[in-house]
Amino acid sequence: MTKSSSQTKYISSISVLPDDLLLVIFHAVADDIYGTDGQLRLDCVALASVCRGWRSLVLSTSRFWTRLHMMTKFGALSKEHLEMHVTRSANALVDVVIYIARPPDPWGQAAWTLVFDGAKVCLQVLRECSHRWRSLKIINEIDNHSGLFGCVLSELGLPHAPALKNIEIICHSSGWITSLKESFQFLSTTYTPSLKMLKLEGCDSSILPEQFDASSLRHVSLKFLRQFSHTPPNSLDVFRNFLSCARNLVSLEVHRRVFFVEHAKTDNEVDPIILPALRTLHIIMGAEKPAYLSGILGNITAPNLCHLAIHGDSLAWEESSLIDFSSPAFFLRQDEVPKFPTVCQLTMKNMLQSVYGPGKNLHSIFTALPHVTEVVLDHDVREIANSLVMELYDKKVPPLWPYLRQLTIEMTPTTTFHYLPQLCEWLRLRRASGLSLPAVTIRYGLQRAGVKKDARDLMIIRKIVNDATGYRASDTREVVKQLGKLDALVDLRVDSWIYD
């Protein structure tokens, strides 16, 4: 009886909470539920099923019904379901998520017809409330070539969406192109005048209309899979044309394959495109040649850039292809003036270390980015620390990165502390020069896909990392001891993040 009374007490306590506080709790729970693409359901229905009071509260609050989820899966399409949520959302702005699932196997004609017809009916419901769209996210399941993706794009038509701010189109792929017969005409300032954010991942590049106007965009992430063609257009020109009308960009993220490296080779120097509002430039490369990086940096001028992040794969580069950072295509112009003079945050990962040694003219990175205050590096810190040490030995040269306040080193689990001597020597010389020491954070990532969030799982994985990969107690004490002698603030830990 005591246990039952205790439970009753807690149940009673939540039932007497004021409606405003209950709504805060409900909203937090709903936000957590909507986090995964595989669970496209509105669990506000579950909240409304607890009791009469909760049902009345949830049904009368329009913001619980502003997420319109549609999944093109046999048995999951329901016009009535969408219409109910459109009605309950009243006149509030809505977020639309369309998940395009792979068809069942075997894919019979009857099931094909039902899914396509059901998708068209549901898209009609969404199209009719397009004037209230706040965001649109379309997800094509991995290697789904059933034609459903193209059908969804075409059936969306050209609705007028004056309030739409964010568009994400994600085609999960293991390398195959999600081909399109025609561009997505919906991406037009005529129909989406308020569009601020555009994310294209794994799409055929022809998804963009030829005369796409990107002038309203503030945040862009591009990851194309180029369409195979015997006579492909110059993909670098397409990229330049896109940027030339995106003068209001604040952040730009460029992934692999946005253009062919071969198209970046030109006999005539082209003027870089000025992006005056750009504050963050993030370049993520795979095994592309260094010419891909120079093709991006050589075509962009950002006088107000604050954060520059570059992820590469230097182990895939040949000796003759090592990056020459002194080239005007990268950070310094022909007159040795920095191209990005205001950068204060720098992230460089897998850019310098290779089987042939560090990249050429490493010194140019530091002289071209003199005002850096925060840096994120990986195992390349060894090469960078060596270069900085050599510079500090030369008393005639002013210290590099004099304003540095935060140094973060992100390591894979298999990396040991071989960089410690160079790092300690650099910090020692820095202190001897009268410069302040940066706060040092050393993070060991758990390179383990699909790691669960359960604390017990993380404790087990941390123990494996600590015992087997060099992050042992003795190494930990040595790092803290050596850096502690310099009065450096050190944060050394293992995290459950996935290394790039």
pLDDT at 290: 79
pLDDT at 328: 73
| Fold of the CATH domain 66-232 | 3.80.10
Q: Is the predicted pLDDT of residue 336 greater than 70, yes or no?
A: yes
Higher per-residue confidence, 474 vs 71: 71
Neighbours of 462 (CB within 10 A): 18
pLDDT at 462: 54
pLDDT at 355: 61
Q: Is the predicted pLDDT of residue 241 greater than 80, yes or no?
A: yes
Q: 19-23, 282-286, 408-412, 422-426: which range is least confident on average? A: 19-23
Here the tokens at position 363 are 């010194």
Query: pLDDT of 61-81, one tens digit each?
Result: 777 788 888 888 777 778 888
The pLDDT-based confidence of 180 (bands split at 50, 70, 90) is low
Mean pLDDT of 345-360: 77
**Helices of type H across 413-472:** 420-432, 455-468
Q: 29-33, 211-215, 465-469: which range is least confident on average? A: 465-469
The pLDDT-based confidence of 174 (bands split at 50, 70, 90) is low
Q: Is the predicted pLDDT of residue 216 greater than 60, yes or no?
A: yes
Q: Is the predicted pLDDT of residue 4 greater than 60, yes or no?
A: no
Q: What global pTM score does this model have?
A: 0.81
The pLDDT-based confidence of 182 (bands split at 50, 70, 90) is low
Helix-, strand-, coil-residue percentages of the chain, each rounded to 5? 35, 20, 45
Higher per-residue confidence, 41 vs 51: 51
Higher per-residue confidence, 143 vs 446: 143
| Helix (H), strand (E) at residue 95 | strand 94-100
Here the tokens at position 44 are 């506000």
Q: Is the predicted pLDDT of residue 186 greater than 50, yes or no?
A: yes
- Residue 304: CA atoms inside 13 Å, Cβ hemisphere, count? 11
Q: 50-59, 211-220, 461-470: which range is least confident on average? A: 461-470
- From 336, 280, 267, select the one nearest 306 (Cα to Cα): 280
- Output b/e per residue, 85-124; b: 16+ Cβ within 10 A: bbebbeeebbbbbbbbbbbeeeeeeeebeebbebbeebbe
Residues 6+ apart with CB under 8 A from 465: 413, 444, 446, 471, 494
Residue 337 amino acid letter: V
Q: 17-21, 263-267, 270-274, 441-445: which range is least confident on average? A: 263-267
148-156 vs 109-128: helix crossing angle, rounded to 10: 30
Mean pLDDT of 341-347: 93
pLDDT at 40: 39
Q: Is the predicted pLDDT of residue 347 greater than 90, yes or no?
A: yes
| Helix (H), strand (E) at residue 110 | helix 109-128
For residue 352, CA distances in Å to 63, 316, 355, 362, 394 come to 49, 12, 10, 8, 23
Query: pLDDT of 114-149, one tens digit each?
Result: 888 888 999 999 999 989 999 999 998 887 777 888
Domain boundaries, the chain: 19-64, 66-232, 410-500
Q: Is the predicted pLDDT of residue 452 greater than 50, yes or no?
A: no
Beta bridge partners of 204: 225
Q: Round to whole Å and give the CA distance between 136 and 315.
A: 38
Mean pLDDT of 199-203: 86
Mean pLDDT of 317-346: 79
Mean pLDDT of the chain: 76
Query: pLDDT of 81-113, one tens digit each?
Result: 888 888 888 888 999 999 988 776 666 677 778
Mean pLDDT of 8-30: 68
Neighbours of 188 (CB within 10 A): 16
Q: DSSP assignment of 143-167, as one string?
A: T--SSHHHHHHHHH-S---TT--EE
Mean pLDDT of 432-452: 70
For residue 341, is the peptide bond before it cis, meaning its omega torsion is within 30 degrees of 0? no
For residue 230, CA distances in Å to 202, 227, 233 come to 21, 10, 10
pLDDT at 35: 44
Q: Is the predicted pLDDT of residue 411 greater than 80, yes or no?
A: no
Q: Round to whole Å and give the CA distance between 491 and 472.
A: 15
